[in-house]
Amino acid sequence: DVKVTQSSRYLVKRTGEKVFLECVQDMDHENMFWYRQDPGLGLRLIYFSYDVKMKEKGDIPEGYSVSREKKERFSLILESASTNQTSMYLCASSPQGNGQPQHFGDGTRLSIL
Amino acid sequence: GENVEQHPSTLSVQEGDSAVIKCTYSDSASNYFPWYKQELGKRPQLIIDIRSNVGEKKDQRIAVTLNKTAKHFSLHITETQPEDSAVYFCAASRDTGFQKLVFGTGTRLLVSP
């Protein structure tokens, strides 16, 4: 069974802090994704990566960056956290190729005070 | 870019009734359409998907239909049960190696006993 693990379920940080969200998958998937989930807005793609050291902007990349130094790990970085980044963050992974299902982690509920 | 609209935002049915959730998409090149179910406090999980060369797909009480001409697809749940209560997301993507999904805004389904 595919396992996508996010390092924290709940996280509270202060405005201006640098925040790291970590995601690890154990299925050797090429693709990894970061989404944020807000009520009434669904899941919106922040960044994705299709290979080690490769990254592509999603639909809402402003205020975020990512790092993929190893195939199994994809990190989301909030360079200077702001209150409007309070949200649920979901990581996902999928194998390469069309029509491959994305497998999600349990999510990190991040609050910026 | 792709835009996916999903209706209704909330749906309440009695146990045993059928439920239908509809999505429309804008990019005629999209050809993969998955549906995800997210129970309260849990990760989204793929429940069914359909590709553009198929008009309908069924899996027990769940079915998905696709109309490529009209650019809409629907999720049908028959004989609903309380455990079907969840938020359902539709999504669409093109045939690309890294399968960037665009999600609808979600439908909260409540099945009352």
pLDDT at position B96, please?
A: 63
- Strand partners for B66: B73
Q: Report in angstroms the alpha-carbon separations of A33 from A11, A73, A77, B74, B104.
A: 20, 11, 13, 25, 17
The single residue listed with the structure tokens 């146990």 is: B15
Percentage of residues in chain B with pLDDT exceeding 90? 80
Q: Looking at beta carbons, which residues of chain A come within 8 Å of B99?
A: 31, 94, 97-100, 102
Nearest to A107 among B43, B46, B99 (CB): B43
- Tell me how far apart the alpha carbons of residues B50 and B58 are, in angstroms, rounded to a whole number: 10
Q: Report in angstroms the alpha-carbon separations of A101 from A21, A61, A64, B74.
A: 23, 23, 25, 18
pLDDT at position A36, please?
A: 97
pLDDT, one tens digit per residue, over A37-75 is: 998 899 999 999 999 989 999 999 999 999 999 999 999
Our CA-based measurement puts residue A65 at a distance from the nearest CA of chain B, in whole angstroms, of: 18
pLDDT at position B4, please?
A: 95
pLDDT, one tens digit per residue, over A81-93 is: 999 999 999 999 9
Q: Please report, as a single letter, which amino acid is at residue A75.
A: S
Task: Say yes or no to pLDDT of B97 above 80.
Answer: no
Task: Say yes or no to pLDDT of A2 above 80.
Answer: no
- In terms of Cα–Cα distance, which of B15, B13, B19, B30 is closest to B104? B30
By the 10 Å C-beta count (0-12 exposed, 13-18 middle, 19+ buried), A62 is classed as: exposed
Q: Looking at beta carbons, which residues of chain B come within 8 Å of A94?
A: 99
The answer to whether residues A28 and A72 touch, using CB atoms and an 8 Å cutoff, is: yes
